């Protein structure tokens, strides 16, 4: 492979560019902030989103979206979910039917409740039928960029695309597995952020390992229910894109979503917490979209419902936990 274009210069996009750079002749990284793009090319460091990591020489930062995407054999989307439709619409003139599309965005589009791969198909489809895969798994950007071993999933209905991306992205520190259930992968990638907020709340309240184990287990159960109702497969949620990512995000202190929950548990207001964060915590917006999707599909999501009440309705975290524990008793 000659060129990879990474659309999104946040911590995750930059980390993926770093770890994938040895596999491509050229990596173009789209960075929204023009001054940051210039500093990256000058210093070889993304000092805002991934400080302390030196970018390989074959990575170039571009503030112009069309320049960043032009000529890409693989276009890797790593923008926040609420920007996906706008970004793919703007980049459309640079895209070709030969391009392979990989989405590493974790979230649902508010309003439409579509998965990001659905948004991509809707935007690009009138021009040509895009070949799309989704990338997910238990990964923190800083650890990936440091070269620590990790395993992720590339999922697509297009098995040839999945195998091509697997071969192109795999290396000494990054192992890829293929999967044919992008619905399950995208639902798992999105909803685990909601459960991670709940995990942070528990930690912020000073609760221990018993509570965390129960939360992760029951959180996986409701993510699986939603994925199946949306057309996904239960076995996907027992793998890297489900259980693996959920365990990492709920327990890892590098998780932005867990951090939001932790600060909520300590009594801080949501607006204050988000106002102090440079990077996006996808789980907040995903909570709102997940509740709407659950209503549409008639699926019960008790943990997500309590997080919705805490985030949007001003319910106290301790009261939300009490209401979870006092729900009617039932069979597992």
How many Å apart are CA 280 and CA 285, to the nearest integer?
10
The pTM for the full model equals 0.94
Helices and strands (H, E) in the chain, number of each type: 15, 10
Q: Which one is catalytic: 114, 142, 192, 330?
A: 192
Which pLDDT does position 327 carry in this prediction? 85
Question: Per residue in 54-87, pLDDT tens?
Answer: 999 999 999 999 999 999 999 999 999 999 999 9
Confidence of residue 154 (pLDDT cuts 50, 70, 90): very high
List, in order of start, the domains of the chain with CATH numbers. 3-180 (3.40.50.720), 183-325 (1.10.1040.10)
The answer to whether 192 is a known catalytic residue is: yes
Helix 182-204 and helix 209-229, axial crossing angle in degrees, nearest 10: 150
Question: Per residue in 18-33, pLDDT tens?
Answer: 999 999 999 999 999 9
| pLDDT of 279 higher than 80 | no
Q: CA 28: distance to chain centroid?
A: 20
Q: What angle do CA 300, 332, 261 make, to 5 degrees?
A: 55
For residue 255, the 8-state DSSP code is -
- Between residues 100 and 277, the one the model is more confident about: 100
Which pLDDT does position 39 carry in this prediction? 97
């Amino acid at each position: 492979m000659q060129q990879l274009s990474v659309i999104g210069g946040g911590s995750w996009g930059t980390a993926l560019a770093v770890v994938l750079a040895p596999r491509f002749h050229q990596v173009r990284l789209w960075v929204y902030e023009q001054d940051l793009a210039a500093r990256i090319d000058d210093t070889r460091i993304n000092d805002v989103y991934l400080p302390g990591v030196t970018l390989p020489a074959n990575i170039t930062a571009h503030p112009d979206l069309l320049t960043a995407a032009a000529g890409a054999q693989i276009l890797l989307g790593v923008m926040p979910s609420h920007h996906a439709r706008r970004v793919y619409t703007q980049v459309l003139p640079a895209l070709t039917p030969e391009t392979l599309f990989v989405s590493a965005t974790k979230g649902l589009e508010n309003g439409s409740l579509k998965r990001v791969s659905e948004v991509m198909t809707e935007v690009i489809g009138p021009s040509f039928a895009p070949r799309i895969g989704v990338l997910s798994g238990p990964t923190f950007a800083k650890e990936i960029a440091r070269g620590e071993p990790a395993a992720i999933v590339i999922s697509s209905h297009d098995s040839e695309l999945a195998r091509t991306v697997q071969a192109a992205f795999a290396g000494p520190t990054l192992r890829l597995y293929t999967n044919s259930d992008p619905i399950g992968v995208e639902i798992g990638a999105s909803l685990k952020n909601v459960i991670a907020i709940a995990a942070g709340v528990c930690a912020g309240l000073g609760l221990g390992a018993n509570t965390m184990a129960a939360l992760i287990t029951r959180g996986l159960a409701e993510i699986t229910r939603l994925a199946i109702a949306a057309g996904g497969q239960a076995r996907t949620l027992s793998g890297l894109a489900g259980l693996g990512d959920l365990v990492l995000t709920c327990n890892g202190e590098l998780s932005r979503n867990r951090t939001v929950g932790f600060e909520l548990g300590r009594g801080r207001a949501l607006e204050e917490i988000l106002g102090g964060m440079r990077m996006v915590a996808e789980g907040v917006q995903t909570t709102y979209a997940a509740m709407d999707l659950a209503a549409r599909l008639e699926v019960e999501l008790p943990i997500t419902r309590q997080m919705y009440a805490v985030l949007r309705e001003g319910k106290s975290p301790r009261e939300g936990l009490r209401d979870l524990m006092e729900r009617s008793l039932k069979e597992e």
